[in-house]
Amino acid sequence: MLRSFAAALSFLFIAAFSAHAAAASPPDKARKLRGAYVVSLSFSPLFLAIDKGYFQAENIDMEIQVVQSAADVVAFLGIGQMDIAFGNISDTFFNAINRGVDVRIVGGLSYTPKERGILSPTPIFARKALADSGAVKTMADLKGRKIALNARGGIVEYQVSQSLRRYGLSIKDVEIVTIPFPDMPIALAKGAVDGAIMPEPIATAVRARNIGVVLDPNPAPGIVVTTVMFGKNLLAGAEEAVAKAVLRALRRAANELQSPQAIMSRENVQIWSKYTMLPAETVAKTVPYVFARDLALDVDNLLDQQKFLADGGRIPRQLPAERLTDSRFVTRMR
């Protein structure tokens, strides 16, 4: 009996010691990922996921850096020097895939409002003098006139083209002038251009200062504006669990931003201010983007944007959706 008691005691001691050792062992080291984003309110789910610790909860250390455009990092995604990018769709993305660069869209981040008459974060403005005189009343009146874009071959040009198309016009019917967004209000005020498409918070400032008149409040309703892109590293089969953890954190954040009231809550405005380096009072006046539940991607619109670029000669050919996205990660919009 004593031998049995000693054996039982020994077993309990070993079990207790093992449990203590397991509890004392350090947690797995957080996986460090490198990401890039443009300073824009269209990336609010990213900011929320970082600020509220949603990446940390998935054991991910997300290191992000600011870039001028997601196009700047597509090549780095393809060679593994960057893991993830947050940006809009442009000819650079499609051309990279046509060259065999290993990059895919894995989620839709922000959209314009679906309702035609609702003010979007990227309205088209007319020069005030032209609007006041009645010379420019609709987009049709911009035919042959100068319209400012920040760049060719991207989401902004696509939006202008969609607006013009409703009046039987194309982008070829206007004179495009490329100007950085911050310089557009001055160009509009001085008469250097007749129209311009500007994002928030510049759009709010232009309306407040009466520099321009909104000509088209929502040039392209319901289109995907910004996306989540994975590069070579996260697309690798061995990294699928990590990739899905990233998307869980982002979806958790996006799903908390399903109404203008939620997006513009007092707490969230402070977060947007922190990551965009804009005053909170300025952020609070802006028009919010629409954030897709579960980062759902409108694949049909993605393909339409690709067609627009192909028709304009910006990309060599159109590719099927499976070459542009990764079905392991994408939730398709219904």
Domains in the chain (CATH in brackets) are 31-112+223-324 (3.40.190.10), 124-216 (3.40.190.10)
Dihedral Cα 173, 94, 332, 236, nearest 10 deg: -170
| Ordered per-residue pLDDT tens for the chain, 334 residues | 434 434 443 443 344 444 444 444 445 789 999 999 988 999 999 999 999 999 999 999 999 998 877 778 898 999 999 999 999 999 999 999 999 999 999 999 999 999 998 999 999 999 999 999 999 999 999 999 999 999 899 999 999 999 999 999 999 999 999 999 999 999 999 999 999 999 999 999 999 999 999 999 999 999 999 999 999 999 999 999 999 999 999 999 999 999 999 999 999 999 999 999 999 999 999 999 999 999 999 999 999 999 999 999 999 999 999 999 999 999 999 8
Side chain identity at residue 307, one-letter code: K
CB 89 within 8 A of CB 303: no
Strand partners, 224: 111
Choose among 212, 88, 203: nearest CA to 153.
88
pTM of whole model > 0.85? yes
Contacts of residue 111, Cβ cutoff 8 Å, sequence gap at least 6: 222, 223, 224, 225, 289, 290, 291, 292, 298
